[in-house]
Structure 1
Amino acid sequence: MSAANNTKDTKDTKNTKNVNQANNLNKVSSPTTFWASFLQTFKDVFKDSGVVLMLLIAPVIYGFFYPWPYSSEVVNHVPVGIIDNDNSQLSRTIIRYANASPQLDTQGFINEQQAKEAIWSNDIAGYMIIPSGLERQVLSGKAASVSVLGNGGYFILNKNVQLGFLKAVSTVSAGIEVKKNVAQGAYLATAASNTQAVPLQIIPLYNQTEGYGAYVVPAVAILILQQTLLMATAMLIGTWYEQRRHATSVRGWLGRIMALSMLSFVVGCFYYGWAFELHHYPRGQNILGSLLFLTIFCPTVATLGCVLGLWFRQRERSLQILVFSSLPIFFVSGYPWPANQLPEVLQIIRWLVPTTPGVNMSVQMNQMGASVAQVATGFYALAGLWSFYFILLLIFRWRTQPSSEMRK
């Protein structure tokens, strides 16, 4: 019995020492003042290779490689087919103009079935059918038409197929109209001007090349900034929770948020000042407004990351959950698809995510030159989200923090 009691006393002593060591570690590693938490967070970030990779290295790598597939910007030389059932001078002229289009890369087919099989095997993206008797109908003054069919599964290719053939047929039609008017006694210059009674001039604003990369990359960059900051912050908080170092005061949480926000702010400046410049995207129209946006957006995202870290409580869980949220978040942001066309439930839920106002604010100010006043609603939304997240953080802090720390 004496030996058993001695063993028990020894275990109790060891347990007491371990508890005391854990408490001491908690006191040392969890500063409660603003600047102490700020500096400690910086130290912990750069000691954790996983957090550094997610917070700093990954967004920089994305800045290089995400725009790379869209480097050509505009899709050209789309393979298409032409079925010429008329085999006339007019049909050959239409084919010649289609061949000259930089949007199309044409090839001939004997019949429509052969063209369909080429679409099914992804050899072409669409085809045009020139009906038999087209030239005869045109010369007799009757209405005539050609058929253009595209693969609707690829909307960018489908758009090029339709526009390429439209320009070719419209150019030939305009030439025929001019010749008719000249034959009826009109002067050539007058006939040419009368083919388009109301001249149409299309000038794209902001994205002047009408490139896909210039459209999608500046918006996705904000999503990348958010998701990497969210995952890095949740990972770091999860690590602190596992080590029982998460507890701190309100001022301590503010210091942590400020440290994480500053690092993400630097990455945001990298996008605005270098990545968009490298790929020649529209940029810098309202750089001061864009920087003001980052000063509000980054703390909002960092605060949400702290809430998620306390909720997940495990380092790996943040990656497991958040990595799959990027695509849905982008689609409900209102950028790739009109927000008023979303289901009503999603129209409400989407405002819980910082990228909902953030993506559009960034594009409007940095690419389009909108003023701060013109996007003031977005600033109000981000300020409201930060307040909401911080209240949630205080609630989670109260539920996960020892009562001794709550009094600070």
Structure 2
Amino acid sequence: MEEPSFFRLMRKEFSSLPRNKMLILNACFMVALVFLIGFLYRAGALKSIPLVVADLDQSSTSRIISQGFSESEKFTVTQVSDYPAALEMIKEGKAIAGLVIPEDLSADIKNQKGTELLLIIDGTNYIAANTAYAKASEILQTLNAGIALETLQGKGFLPDEAQATVQRVILEQKILYNPDYNYAYYLSYGVFSAGIFSLAMSAIALTLCRQKRTHHFSLGELGAKIITYGVFASVVTNIIFRLAEMVFKLPARGSLGSFFALTLPYGLLIAVFALMLFSLAREEVRIFQAAVFFATPLFFVTGYTWPFQSIPDLLRPVYYLNPLTPFLNGARACLVMGADWGVLAKYVVWQLGLVTLYLPCAFLFYKSRTHRSAC
């Protein structure tokens, strides 16, 4: 019988996709994952952080400070009588931050002495702690100037004279791409990308495992499967990202064409790693276990959360060889920053380079295990 041509193999693989329950169910699961993550981060930025205030001064000045925090949407303020009570609420998890106003605050200000407020923050949750510190610093900076003006006017300065005396240096901020520090913009695309890689790789590897029960694959069949499943993973990635953008109002500043070009080599990388996983694990249970834990450690070496500049030199090769790195950073550049093709092209070339590197390895792994028992 004549050996089927490569294009005939491709047509056969594409025609079998609608009947592949494993891939279809996996795609549905990934869509469900998107909705779960989207709903989790739908608030975007943290609000209503529990803050406990211990006002030991009980003066008009201290009440101005307490009111400034109460009026902020970032905090939900609870008043307590002393420092131990504030610390106890933080230890019990009832508050994330605490503000202690010293009892001699008003007197020190009137006597033009330096004074300190104590800000206590639960540092176990970095996101909440960082937000609480940044907002508290902003509120106190604003209140500090107002208190200084009020003190000078109390000493007989006219309002204009007091304003001229208190010369504030204002830091004007221009936060690019994410001015509200929206955590959904920051985390969602990275989590989606890592989840898609892990789940799609698992589904493709399990599909190959079940298909191999009937016969071994030729080199042409493997090539056709990698292209077919790679295109499938690329299409699913585009659908998931577009759903997330529409439902959860995530940024989508780049062009559809540029993003699709970015996802094509990403899909091929997923398929190539699925072949390697299938060849090395050989059993369905091991495939699933390996896929679950594959993307998690690599996600932290992509420069997406922990900046590349802070990655130790020893791990820099992992950064460059990581199959997640170019897509995660490219997706952020395209969708959040709105980068044009001139910027995105390097991420596409990077991914194609990784495909070229890992594809022969995948073929070798498969060939070296064809003599072993089927899955």
What is the CA deviation profile of residues 137-191 of structure 1, one whole-angstrom value per residue up to 9, with x for unaligned ones? Answer: 1111111121101000012222233234333332321112333555665653x75
**Pair 397,156 (structure 1): closer, same or farther in 2 beyond 3 Å:** closer
Aligned pairs for 1:318-329 within 5 A: 318-329=287-298
Which residue is 1:406 aligned to?
Answer: none
Contact 2:199–2:292 (CA under 8 A) maintained in structure 1? no
The answer to whether residue 262 in structure 2 is matched with residue 293 in structure 1 is yes
**For residues 294 and 193 of structure 1, what CA distance do their matches in structure 2 show?**
58
Which residue is 2:139 aligned to?
Answer: 168
What is the percent sequence identity of the aligned residues?
A: 20
1:277 aligned partner, one-letter code: M
Residue 222 of structure 1 deviates from its aligned partner by: 1.4
Contact 1:128–1:165 (CA under 8 A) maintained in structure 2? no
The answer to whether residue 182 in structure 2 is matched with residue 224 in structure 1 is no
Secondary structure of 2:113 counterpart:
coil
What is the CA deviation profile of residues 273-292 of structure 1, one whole-angstrom value per residue up to 9, with x for unaligned ones? Answer: 33212211111323322111
How many pairs were matched up?
370
2:64 aligned partner, one-letter code: T
Which residue is 2:32 aligned to?
Answer: 61
Contact 1:36–1:255 (CA under 8 A) maintained in structure 2? no
Residue 337 of structure 1 deviates from its aligned partner by: 1.0
Residue 293 of structure 1 deviates from its aligned partner by: 0.5
Contact 2:275–2:366 (CA under 8 A) maintained in structure 1? no
Contact 2:197–2:295 (CA under 8 A) maintained in structure 1? no
**For residues 46 and 393 of structure 1, what CA distance do their matches in structure 2 show?**
26
Q: Which of 134, 137, 142 does residue 108 from structure 2 map onto?
A: 137
The answer to whether residue 351 in structure 2 is matched with residue 382 in structure 1 is yes
Residue 100 of structure 1 deviates from its aligned partner by: 0.9
**For residues 319 and 82 of structure 1, what CA distance do their matches in structure 2 show?**
49
The answer to whether residue 23 in structure 2 is matched with residue 51 in structure 1 is yes
Q: Which of 95, 98, 101 does residue 66 from structure 2 map onto?
A: 95
Contact 1:218–1:276 (CA under 8 A) maintained in structure 2? no
Contact 1:241–1:313 (CA under 8 A) maintained in structure 2? no
**What is the RMSD of the two structures over their aligned residues, measured on CA atoms?**
2.5
Residue 202 of structure 1 deviates from its aligned partner by: 2.0
Contact 2:254–2:340 (CA under 8 A) maintained in structure 1? no
Which of the two has higher C-alpha Rg? 1
Secondary structure of 1:79 counterpart:
strand
Secondary structure of 2:51 counterpart:
strand
What is the CA deviation profile of residues 359-394 of structure 1, one whole-angstrom value per residue up to 9, with x for unaligned ones? Answer: 011111121012232244423321111011211133
Secondary structure of 1:108 counterpart:
strand
Contact 2:52–2:95 (CA under 8 A) maintained in structure 1? yes
**For residues 91 and 168 of structure 2, what CA distance do their matches in structure 1 show?**
41
Residue 229 of structure 1 deviates from its aligned partner by: 1.9
What TM-score, normalized by structure 2, do the two folds share? 0.90
Which residue is 2:318 aligned to?
Answer: 349
What is the CA deviation profile of residues 333-355 of structure 1, one whole-angstrom value per residue up to 9, with x for unaligned ones? Answer: 11111234334333222433311
Which residue is 2:217 aligned to?
Answer: 247
Which residue is 2:273 aligned to?
Answer: 304
**Pair 192,248 (structure 1): closer, same or farther in 2 beyond 3 Å:** farther
**Pair 192,218 (structure 1): closer, same or farther in 2 beyond 3 Å:** farther
Residue 91 of structure 1 deviates from its aligned partner by: 0.8
Contact 2:14–2:228 (CA under 8 A) maintained in structure 1? yes
Identify the range of structure 1 (333-342 vs 391-400) with the bigger mean alpha-carbon deviation: 391-400
Contact 2:194–2:296 (CA under 8 A) maintained in structure 1? no
The answer to whether residue 128 in structure 2 is matched with residue 128 in structure 1 is no
Contact 1:238–1:312 (CA under 8 A) maintained in structure 2? no
**For residues 43 and 353 of structure 1, what CA distance do their matches in structure 2 show?**
32
What TM-score, normalized by structure 1, do the two folds share? 0.83
Identify the range of structure 1 (277-286 vs 128-137) with the bigger mean alpha-carbon deviation: 277-286
Contact 2:258–2:344 (CA under 8 A) maintained in structure 1? no
**For residues 170 and 142 of structure 2, what CA distance do their matches in structure 1 show?**
14
The answer to whether residue 29 in structure 2 is matched with residue 34 in structure 1 is no
